[in-house]
Amino acid sequence: GAVVSQHPSRVICKSGTSVKIECRSLDFQATTMFWYRQFPKQSLMLMATSNEGSKATYEQGVEKDKFLINHASLTLSTLTVTSAHPEDSSFYICSARPPPGQDRGEQFFGPGTRLTVL
């Protein structure tokens, strides 16, 4: 149980285009999902907290107009990188937290999406 998927696993796009990454909780409902960015051999940097049915909460320094987050259902959150540039190239990871009552503390992570902007 507690499986989180991400799609696509890898994407290459041209500078100036937008890319959408999906994060799905497959066997549980996730009222809260998190989006992280990771550079090679570095730690995870939390970008935003996504709550179902409400606006995402962005961490300081993260541009909300560039990284659009939509948590439209209890099993799906999407991250759209708008007008992508080479400096946006990174590994993006999502995680999901079960709802209260099922939450035992840990988050469950997706396999990640490797974004390369040319």
Residue ranges binding another protein (CB under 8 A): 4, 6, 32, 34, 41-44, 46, 49, 57, 91, 93, 95, 97, 103-112, 114
For the stretch 64-96, what's the b/e string if a residue is b when 16 or more beta carbons lie within 10 angstroms of its beta carbon? eeebbbebeebbbbbbebeebeeebbbbbbbbb
Nearer to another protein, 15 or 42 (CB): 42
Phi, psi of 7 (to 5 degrees): -145, 135
CB 24 to another protein: min, Å: 13
Q: Which is nearer to another protein, 7 or 82 (CB)?
A: 7
Q: Which is nearer to another protein, 80 or 91 (CB)?
A: 91
The smaller minimum CB distance to another protein, of residues 58 and 82, is found at 58
* Least distance (Å) between residue 8 CB and another protein: 13
User: Distances from the Cα of 93 to the Cαs of 38, 46, 68, 102, in angstroms?
Assistant: 8, 9, 15, 22
Query: What is the nearest approach in angstroms of another protein to the Cβ of residue 65?
Result: 22
CB contact set of 54 (below 8 Å; sequence gap of 6+): 71
